[in-house]
Structure 1
Amino acid sequence: MNTSASLALRAERTPATPASLALRTKLTPTTPVLRAATAALWRPDGLRRRYPRYLAAMHPLVRASVPLLERAAERCAELDDPASRRLAAYYTRHAEEERDHDAWLLDDLAAVGAAPAALPHPVVVELAGAQYYRIEHEHPVTLLGYMAVLEGNAPGPRLADRLAEATGFPDAAFRTLREHAELDGGHLDDLHRVLDALALTPARQTAVSVSALHTANLLTRLFLSLAADPGGHQ
């Protein structure tokens, strides 16, 4: 057997890397940077002032979740191919799972005696706005990269208790953190299953990865901004 034929046969026998594994691999270098930003955000000094700012920043981002998912589902329906139909069903289902989570943040803000921000944090606008662009002008599958980062960096199960102790805020101020600590791990597993089942082309896989890497960079910037300046935006 000649070398070319041998390589072709080997390629046929070698299973392709699952898209979810490829995405996790691409995101690996971002993990320590994002974790460091998260640690800075939750450090004890100034936390009682910083936590309401965090809630106010996250409210418009969470408020954008359902409209993003619904628009992505609509775009999938317009494309009308088997993969897009499967993706539309996933986005529609996930929109229902995310519905009214922004109301949890309003309740958390009320519990700390704060109100929503008059204007969204500029990085939040960029986070959500980039996804609208990608849904409309690239492909709605790119939203999976955004979701993978947000749900892959969900609060830990003990974070709410630790913040409650450090700030003295009532338990009612931490519903969003508690709920997402419980829900987002399962959501991420579901996302990975859908991503692997779509059988994306290499170009589409790259688009998902680019969306995810952009999201990780912006989320790091958001957390560092809140950590560095608890009284406003950088």
Structure 2
Amino acid sequence: MNPSAAVRLRLQLSLVQPVLRAATARMWQSGPGLPDRYRRYLRAMHQVIRASVPLMERAAARCEALPQDPVAGPLGRYLRAHVEEERGHDDWLLADAAAAGAPPGELTDAVPAAHVAALVGAQYYWLEHSHPVALLGYIAVLEGNAPAPGLAGRLARETGLTRAAFETVRLHADLDDGHSADLDVLIDRLPLDTAQRALVAVSALHTVASLAELFDRITQVPTEWESTHA
């Protein structure tokens, strides 16, 4: 029996997941630089996550402009519902950063780096110039790589920061597994054609590569310019 669309996507991702897992492990490695690394993580992830709701809203609007497309209707309904599940998560990161001692405005005023724009911006291109179903590949990677259970506690112990600085990590460890299961069900129910399945896969593979690069840049000791402008 042929594997379902969701299973095929997971199999494709399994070939590149070791790259992302290795980058994640390097980012969270123990050592004296971990507190600063964690603060850089909060800043970068705020730049990524604050785009989530606008991305999904734009993709849903594109779906509504395609009334004859059999994929667009159920996809748009899923995105509208998922928007409400994701709304406000960027505010969680702001609260974590404040608890971690970040100066007011550090996250909101920082100029997003090019690799953040490359990660998120590709989704805008695909949903505008190809099909909004591309966004499912992006969502599959972000929610399929949730923080490990217990990571928030370990980071609190090893950084010496208050546990209140790790609420987003803790909450996403609890929430994203269920979201991934819902997404698999949706992908299998959508009447995706060959091109649309390929688009979802390309989006997902790009997201893995870009997210691994983002984590590696967080791990690197920043230059003085990057500390000010990244």
Q: Same fold (TM over 0.5)?
A: yes
Identical-pair percentage: 53
Q: Matches of residues 109-124 of structure 1 in structure 2 within 5 Å?
A: 109-114=97-102, 115-116=106-107, 118-124=110-116
Contact 1:157/1:181 (<8 A) preserved: yes
Aligned to 1:222: 214
Q: Name the counterpart of 1:86.
A: 74
The Cα offsets for residues 44-95 of structure 1, whole Å up to 9 and x where unpaired, read as 1210111101100110110000000000100011111332110000000000
Contact 2:136 2:200 in 1 (8 A): yes
Deviation at 1:228, TM superposition (A): 1.8
Q: Could you tell me how far 1:229 is from its partner in structure 2? A: 2.3
How far apart, in 1, do the equivalents of 2:139 and 2:50 lie? 14
Other-structure match for 1:95 = 83
Instruction: Give the Å deviation of 1:230.
Output: 4.9
AA matched with 1:93: A
**Which of 1 and 2 has greater Rg?**
1
Q: Choose from 91, 96, 120 the match for 1:108.
A: 96
Q: Secondary structure at the residue paired with 1:169?
A: coil
In structure 2, C-alpha distance between the alignment counterparts of 1:82 and 1:212, rounded to whole Å = 22
User: Structure 1 residue runs of 4+, over 3 Å off?
Assistant: 230-234
Q: CA deviation at 1:127?
A: 1.0
Which position in structure 2 is the counterpart of 1:12? none
1:33-182 to structure 2, matched below 5 A, reads 33-45=19-31, 46-80=33-67, 81-114=69-102, 115-116=106-107, 118-182=110-174
1:99-154 deviations in whole A, cap 9, x for unaligned?
00000000001001113151113211111100000000010000000000111111
Conserved 8 A contact 2:70-2:191: no
Name stretches of at least 5 consecutive residues in structure 1 with no aligned partner.
1-14
8 Å CA contact 1:160, 1:178 repeated in 2: yes
Tell me how far apart the structure 2 counterparts of residues 152 and 143 of structure 1 sit (CA, whole Å).
Answer: 14
Aligned to 1:6: none
Matched residue type, 1:97: E
Counterpart CA distance in 1 for 2:70 and 2:2 is 20
TM-score, structure 1 normalization: 0.91
Contact kept, 8 Å, 1:104 with 1:176, in 2: the verdict is yes
Mapped contact 1:26–1:209 kept (Cα < 8 A): yes
> Does structure 1 residue 205 correspond to structure 2 residue 191?
no
Q: Are the equivalent residues in 2 in contact too, given 1:142–1:208 (CA < 8 A)? A: yes
CA distance in 2, matches of 1:54, 1:141: 28
Confirm or deny: 8 A CA contact 1:49 1:230 kept in the other structure.
no
Long gaps (5+) in structure 2: none
Task: Output the CA distance in 2 between the equivalents of 1:219 and 1:30.
Answer: 12
| Alpha-carbon distance, 1:226 to partner | 0.8
Which range moved further: 118-127 or 20-29?
A: 118-127
Greater mean alpha carbon deviation, residues 213-222 or residues 26-35: 26-35
